[in-house]
Amino acid sequence: MDFDFGETEKILCEKIKGLFNGDSMADPASLAGEDVEEIRGATLKCLGPLGREGYLTLGLDNEKNYVSLTSIQESLAAISPSLFISAEVTARIFGRLVAVYGTPDQKDEIIPSLQEGRLIGAVAISEDAMNIENDPINTLAENNDDDFLVSGSKGHVVNGPIADWIAVAAKTGDGLAFFLVKKESAGLSVGQKLAMLGYNGLAVSAVSLENCPVPSNYIIGPFDGEEQLKTVRMWEDQILTASALGLIKRSLDAALKFAKGHRSGNKPIIAYQEVGFQLAEMVTLFQTAQLLAYRAAWMAEAGDTEAAVLAHCAKVFCTESAEEVASHALQILGGRGYVSGNPAEEGYRDAKYLQIAGTSSEISRMKIADGVLGDW
């Protein structure tokens, strides 16, 4: 297991850490609003610098540099959880879907703008339930001369209200395909931005399609089998795992700073053993979560036969640790932690999304159990 990062990755991590410092033009904090046009504008302003530094290009070549990708993702996830998920859905899910499985014309039309941070993408797969194996996709695409008519609905779509393009998973007579739907397409309805427990800077909505015409040159697939869908869901889980590392870092940093600076009973509270023990637990969880996430990434990179099981272990551990670390941080911040607007309470609310979305903790545990039933 070699986690030695090259100079390029180290430089990019450092650049990302300083990217939004004092930049009023590109401020991730301005994503938290209700007006979707303002959120879209603020998102594009933040994607611009990320594009210039090459962040949005990572992984589009389908090189499996998962370990260095995780470390670079972790840097952004610790700065702005909402911007991180939004940018990742655009680049690492929508972008990679087009870059890896799309046609040359689709790539020419979409990838350059995406890399420059001028395009927002969304991917709509899940419907009534998340368990693809149990609950197959009901969105259907019917062949209609030169195009397809797509009908169906998706309950939660990250970037739905602000996306230029939505890749909609639907069934055709020949298998599952992704339909690249432009935001102004006839028959496409994007719901209101959903009010959510956490990730308050993230624009998520329902999306429905009724006989939405999609020209046949805007189709990715159809695919024989579920391999491509599984790959997309693996990308999704990797992003959610990296996001958890970012939340843990934010909570830990906030608690440590507060514990050193805040005095009670004439001492900084870090001097109290009970506070120190909580910090020790948080550091241990952070180190373990990071190690497991990087090990899972390294195994995926190496094509290890146990990589899929490890990826689920990492998602469960990191996302559940994110909640636990945020809970400790909130406790250490005391009354100040309970008031809205600090990384501890935000992390406490955000962590729940990471356990539900992608492969949920329950389904992940089932897949781990299935995996170890084999030749483990």
Ligand X SMILES: Cc1cc2nc3c(=O)[nH]c(=O)nc-3n(C[C@H](O)[C@H](O)[C@H](O)COP(=O)(O)OP(=O)(O)OC[C@H]3O[C@@H](n4cnc5c(N)ncnc54)[C@H](O)[C@@H]3O)c2cc1C
Point out which residues bind ligand X (CB under 6 A).
123-126, 128-131, 134, 156-158, 196, 204, 353, 356-358, 360, 362-363, 366
Between CA 275 and CA 281 the distance in angstroms is 10
Q: Provide the terminal-to-terminal Cα distance of the chain, rounded to the nearest Å.
A: 19
CB 116, CB 51: distance < 8 Å = yes
In the complex with ligand X, the residue whose CB is nearer, 74 or 236, is 236
Smallest gap, in angstroms, from Cβ of residue 141 to ligand X?
16
**For residues 246 and 337, which CB has a smaller minimum distance to ligand X in the complex?**
246
Sequence-ordered alpha helix ranges (H) in the chain: 7-18, 36-52, 66-79, 81-88, 96-101, 104-115, 227-261, 273-302, 307-338, 343-356, 361-373
Read off φ and ψ for residue 163, nearest 5 degrees: -80, 145
State how far Cα 2 lies from the chain centre: 25
Give whichever of 76 and 275 is closer to ligand X, judged by the CB atom. Answer: 76
Cα separation, 152 vs 137, whole angstroms: 9
Instruction: Report, in Å, the least distance between residue 215 CB and ligand X.
Output: 23
Question: Closest separation between CB of residue 196 and ligand X, Å?
Answer: 6
Contact 82, 28 (CB under 8 A): yes
List phi, psi (to 5°) of 214. -125, 115
Q: Specify the residue, 26 or 110, whose C-beta has the smaller distance to ligand X.
A: 110
Q: Give the residue with the Cβ less far from ligand X, 102 or 121.
A: 121
Least distance between ligand X and beta carbon 350 (Å): 10
Q: How far is the CB of 184 from ligand X (least distance, A)?
A: 20
Decide whether 131 or 211 has the Cβ nearer to ligand X: 131
Q: Shortest Cβ distance from residue 352 to ligand X (Å)? A: 9
> Could you give the 3-state DSSP secondary structure of residue 302?
helix
Q: Which amino acid is at 139?
A: T
